[in-house]
A and B are shown apart, each in its own frame.
Chain A
Amino acid sequence: EVQLVESGGGLVQPGRSLRLSCAASGFTFEVYAMHWVRQAPGKGLEWVSSINWDTEGIDYADSVKGRFTISRDNAKNSLYLQMNSLRVEDTALYYCAKDRAYSLDYWGQGTLVTVSS
């Protein structure tokens, strides 16, 4: 059974940093691209970032480019999102998701990030 478990969310002040993690199991993590997607309170889904299986392909939404960094450790079956210079508008539930044929076929339950002073 595929499982994705996010962690690392919390309350943080504007301008500070936070690192999210996603622990994957139930599939061969090292061969799949992975994504981060977020949902702000009362809003829709927003794609944040993706990383190829070999970390050679990394992309970001314009809203986070230059502030967020996606990475992975295939030996640990883990995906990460380093979030720097956080803004109030980054407040959201952050999901990690597995890639499948340009879609996202498995999602975690999400970890909540709240940016507030």
Chain B
Amino acid sequence: QSALTQPASVSGSPGQSITISCTGTSNDVGGYNHVSWYQHHAGKAPKLIIYEVTNWPSGVSHRFSGSKSGNTASLTISGLQAEDEADYYCSSYTSSNTRVFGGGTRLTVL
């Protein structure tokens, strides 16, 4: 159950777009369309922003979008805003019927 691989940090200026990658294996990310993304502000509960690779929960901004190619999933945030500054985690269902998270990516809005 190794964690999915995410970059430790990314940054961008307001209005720009950034992409966060999430690399796993054929036993998790590559084997299923059960990838989800979470936004986590310190001291608050994590928030689901993408599920099943590309879908938005009700009320989530469509500035967040997800995709997947092979064993790598990606989260793109367009039109960066100051409030997007947070930690972002990917997660996947696995062939062992468990879940695995990525190590997390700290987004800094410059």
Contact = CB atoms under 8 A, between A and B. Distances in A.
Interface of A: 35, 37, 44-47, 50, 57, 59-63, 95, 97, 100-110
B45 A57 contact: no
B24 interface: no
Contacts, number: 75
Contacts of A47: 91, 98-101
Given A102-B34, A107-B47, A108-B45, 4 more contacts: A45-B104, A46-B101, A103-B36, A105-B57
Contact of A101 (B3, B46, B51, B91): B51
B85 interface: no
A54 B46 CA distance: 26
B91 to A, nearest CB: 7
A24 to B, nearest CB: 14
B40 A61 contact: no
Contacts of B103: 44
Interface of B: 1, 3, 32, 34, 36, 38, 40, 44-48, 51-52, 55, 57, 87, 89, 91, 93, 96-104
Contact of A61 (B1, B34, B48, B89): B1
B40 A45 contact: yes
21 contacts: A37-B46, A37-B101, A44-B3, A44-B87, A44-B101, A44-B102, A44-B103, A45-B89, A45-B101, A47-B99, A50-B98, A95-B45, A97-B46, A101-B52, A101-B55, A103-B48, A104-B48, A104-B99, A107-B45, A109-B45, A110-B45
B48 A105 contact: yes
A59 B94 CA distance: 11
A100 B51 contact: yes
B36 A59 contact: no
Contacts of A101: 34, 51-52, 55
Contacts of B102: 44
